[in-house]
Every structure is written in structure tokens, then in C-alpha cells.
Amino acid sequence: MQPTLQNGAFPIVDAAPQSAARAVPAAERKPLFGMEAAALAEVAAEFGGARYRAQQLEHALYRQWVGSLDEIATLPLRFREQLAEAGYSVGLPEIKETYRSVDGTERYLIAGLDGQTVETVWMPGGDGAETTIEGAEGTSDAGDTGPADTRVAGARGSDTRGADSRGTSAPQRRATICVSSQIGCAVNCQFCLTAKMGIVRNLSAGEIAGQVVAVLKRQGVHLGRDRINLVFMGMGEPFLNYDAWIAAFRLLTGPVQLQPSRMTVSTSGIVPGIVRFAQEPVRPRLAISLNASNDTVREAVMPITRKWNTEAVIDAVRAVPLGPREKITFEYVLLGGVNDQLQHADEVIALVRGAGFPAYVNLIVWNPGPDVPYAQPEQTAVDAFQKRLIARGVTAYIRRPRGRDIYAACGQLKRTTT
């Protein structure tokens, strides 16, 4: 049965897909999704398969987005059976539930093989990274959204045409996908709902990249035509799961063929992670969650500041080599009465100017959540804050909240099911 999309925070449970590995309990299956080319070559070699078998597998996983071994028509039936008997499965994470916002944003609960779910958000029309870098002052991040995408319902289901299906005359679609890197988070920022979960576990590279592919497939995206941005800004701290995160990034920019320049990773300021990031030959854009204008306020709202203070974070960022027009983003969540006054704006201006690298500020109006003891800032304070930054030559945008009604907005991701 095909699920139907509905407005509002209403979960839509998918039918369980069939798989060649039916006989093996899910938790014992060995997922192929997440393996890079060398690992797939080893798997093929296990069964005496030639190198091109590994390439066929890679193509099926990362370009065709197959959901089961049965769908890999290029592989001989016997080879597929051998894979299944040995416990291998495709292992593409499954979308278990979908919540759709009135603004067109969709939030998904996506399950790995152990059944644990993680959150991923689809924001149609969004063009966060680009509007913020090239646009004029104003709103940013998924900012120029028109009406909700009406073609979503038709694009859903078990269609596996994936990236290889070209030549469609449909207009180009734009969207931003917000990706999680961990289940929960250990960083404990006081204003963030994900923090309330604590850290449950790290996600694997396959689970991180798999969120993206599961959503591309669900949305019927055509990569040759559509403009897809990724932001690693979902649940968790990417730089506390660095190895898996960078492996996922390599899959997404390698065989999945997404553009690194359309991706942004956000960190709360994990200095060893920033140091490693600075040495990557290929990397996404970088966003730093600043969220306070001095260390005293930052320690109160982000206790991680005691480990790496603002100066240490900015110092580490100085080592990141930037492209010709690239800028660092400073995210700044405005908390009513805590960090939203003009004196704070002046401190932010001094920080950004003193940083010595090109940067701009993304102001985020705090999204409320149960048991989080903060207040939303007054609209006048938000406007005055942005005006002050711009007047002193610091580029500043206000990030429009997306999907608040379905708990999909920044800092609201905590596997809410109602």
C-alpha cells in the first residue's frame, strides 16, 4: 500500500520492503550501503566475483539507490543469493515515519539496522549555503521558499530510478537536506532539545550517507537537474563522530556525486575536529555555533566552552584554507534577554572583525521546546541586532525557522513522535 501524505505532524508509516536476505534477522545482516569501493571489491572477491562486480554493486547502491539485493538486475542471481546467504543486505536506512509541515518541510524518522531511529529534514526551496554567501542582507537558509512542493506525493514510494534517470522535462527543484551525525548529543548546550536525549550512539558512515540517499529517493530527486544542498546540522555533533562523518562525506561527494560546495557542516567548536577538518583536501563549508558574544555567556549556554573557549575555536578556524569566495558562517541563536542586546551585538562585531578570515553571521531565532528554560527574543531585538551588525560592516542574515509545527526546526530534533 502506498502511504499518503498529509499535512500536519501526522506520522506516515511505510510498508516493510521485501529483501533477498529475508531469512537473516535484520540485526545480523551486514549492510553493503556505507562501504567504499575497496571494501566492495573485497566482498566481490569473497565470492570469486571480478572487479566489475564491485563496480556494479557500487553503482546500484550509490547511483540507483536500490532498496534490496533483488533489485540489482546487473548481478547474476547466484551472486545475489550468495551475498544474501553470507548475511549481506543492501542496508539502505529506511524511512519509518514522515511528518509534513504546513511550510512544505518534511521531517523523517530513519532507522538503521538495529531499529534505532534518527532524524533527517527535507526543506524544499531552500538554498541556505548560497543565499547566505551571495545574497543581500535579509533572511537566509531555505529562505526563498515558494508554496509547498506539490509534486512530493507523486514522487514517493518504491521507485528506484534514482540518480540515473535523466531527460525529464520537469522543472528544476531546489531543496536542503539537514542530516544527523549521532543519535542524541553529548555536548549539552542548554538551549537545545537534542541535548536532552544525551548521547545514545554514533551513527556509521552508511547511516549518515544513507539518510541523504533515502531522502533523495523518497523525493524522486534527479541529481543531474535538481539543486540539492546538504547541511550537517541535524542531531549530534559531527566532529565528535569525525571518522564516520568524513567517510559519509566522501561517499556523498564520491559515488553519490553531490557537490562539496553545496554542503555545510556545523560544529559547536570541537577544536581537534576543526584541526582535522583544516587538513582535508576536499571538504564542505564550515559553520561555527558561536551563540554567545563572550566566554561568560557562552559557558552558561554552551558548557563545552570550558574545554575550548571562543578564542581557541577561532584560532583553530584560522587554519582552514578557504576558497576564493568562501566564508565561514557564525551561527548565533538569539535567546531572549540572554545574548540579544546591542552590547552583545557589539561584542560579536569585535569577534568577527578580529577573526581575520571572511565570515558572516547567521542569526537564528531560538526555537522553543518543553523544559528548555529560555525565552524567544523580541522581534524588535532581532531586527536591531541584525541592523547593528550590518551598520558596522558585518554581514548578517536572519535564518527563518522551518517546520516548527512538526518539531523539525533547529534544535528541535529529538525523535518527537506526536
Site for ligand SAH in 190-209 (CB under 6 A): 191-192
Based on the residue annotation, tell me whether 410 is a catalytic residue of this protein. Answer: yes
106 makes contact with ligand SF4 (CB under 6 A): no
Report the alpha-carbon distance of residue 307 to residue 238 in Å, rounded: 17
- Provide the minimum distance between the beta carbon of 57 and ligand SF4 in the complex, in angstroms, as a whole number: 34
- Provide the minimum distance between the beta carbon of 267 and ligand SAH in the complex, in angstroms, as a whole number: 5
Alpha helices in 47-76 (DSSP H): 51-62
Site for ligand SAH in 391-410 (CB under 6 A): 410
Report the alpha-carbon distance of residue 282 to residue 212 in Å, rounded: 19
| CB closest to ligand SAH, residue no | 411
189 makes contact with ligand SF4 (CB under 6 A): yes
- Provide the minimum distance between the beta carbon of 306 and ligand SF4 in the complex, in angstroms, as a whole number: 14
The amino acid occupying position 266 is S
Q: Which is nearer to ligand SAH, 145 or 180 (CB)?
A: 180
Determine the size of the site formed for ligand SAH (CB under 6 A).
Answer: 17
Binding mask 237-266 for ligand SAH (x = CB under 6 A): x----------------------------x
Which of ligand SAH, ligand SF4, none sits in contact with 333, Cβ below 5 to 8 A by type?
A: ligand SAH
267 makes contact with ligand SAH (CB under 6 A): yes
In three-state secondary structure terms, 29 is coil
3-state helix/strand/coil string of 247-273: HHHHHHHCCCCCCHHHEEEEECCCHHH
Q: For residue 383, which phi and psi values (nearest 5 degrees)? A: -65, -45
| Partners of 267 in the β-ladder | 288
Report the alpha-carbon distance of residue 268 to residue 350 in Å, rounded: 20
- Candidates 48-56, 108-116, 151-159, 363-371: pick the segment binding ligand SAH (CB under 6 A): 363-371
* Catalytic residue (choose from 119, 207, 237, 331): 119
366 makes contact with ligand SAH (CB under 6 A): yes
Which of ligand SF4, ligand SAH, none sits in contact with 331, Cβ below 5 to 8 A by type?
A: ligand SAH
194 makes contact with ligand SF4 (CB under 6 A): yes
* DSSP E strands, 214-355: 227-232, 263-267, 285-289, 328-334
Instruction: Look up residue 84 and give its three cell numbers.
Output: 544474501
Based on the residue annotation, tell me whether 58 is a catalytic residue of this protein. Answer: no
Positive or negative, the CA dihedral 261, 367, 179, 144 is negative
Which of ligand SAH, ligand SF4, none sits in contact with 367, Cβ below 5 to 8 A by type?
A: ligand SAH
Nearest to 363 by CA among 373, 349, 374, 355: 349
- Please state the length of the chain: 418
Report the alpha-carbon distance of residue 285 to residue 291 in Å, rounded: 18
Q: At 33, which helix (H) or strand (E)?
A: none
In three-state secondary structure terms, 202 is strand
Could you say which of 94, 207, 331, 340 contacts ligand SAH (CB under 6 A)?
331
In three-state secondary structure terms, 155 is helix
Could you say which of 364, 382, 396, 398 contacts ligand SAH (CB under 6 A)?
364
Q: Which is nearer to ligand SF4, 108 or 366 (CB)?
A: 366
Q: Which is nearer to ligand SF4, 160 or 188 (CB)?
A: 188
Site for ligand SAH in 288-307 (CB under 6 A): 289, 291
Q: Which is nearer to ligand SAH, 192 or 271 (CB)?
A: 192
Report the alpha-carbon distance of residue 77 to residue 258 in Å, rounded: 31
Q: Say what angle helices 51-62 and 37-46 make with each other, to 10 degrees.
A: 130
- Provide the minimum distance between the beta carbon of 367 and ligand SAH in the complex, in angstroms, as a whole number: 4
Site for ligand SF4 in 254-313 (CB under 6 A): 268, 289
Task: Work out the end-to-end distance of the chain between its first and last CA atoms, rounded to an integer number of angstroms.
Answer: 23
Nearest to 212 by CA among 260, 261, 249, 159: 249
- Candidates 33-41, 68-76, 144-152, 181-189: pick the segment binding ligand SF4 (CB under 6 A): 181-189
Are β-strands 94-100 and 106-111 bridged in parallel, bridged antiparallel, or unpaired? antiparallel
Is 151:170 a contact under the CB 8 Å cutoff? yes
- Provide the minimum distance between the beta carbon of 328 and ligand SAH in the complex, in angstroms, as a whole number: 13
* DSSP E strands, 315-358: 328-334
* Catalytic residue (choose from 178, 189, 192, 410): 410
The footprint of ligand SAH (CB under 6 A) covers 191-192, 233, 237, 266-268, 289, 291, 331, 333, 364, 366-367, 369, 410-411
The footprint of ligand SF4 (CB under 6 A) covers 185, 187-189, 192, 194-195, 236-237, 268, 289, 411
- State the catalytic residues: 119, 410
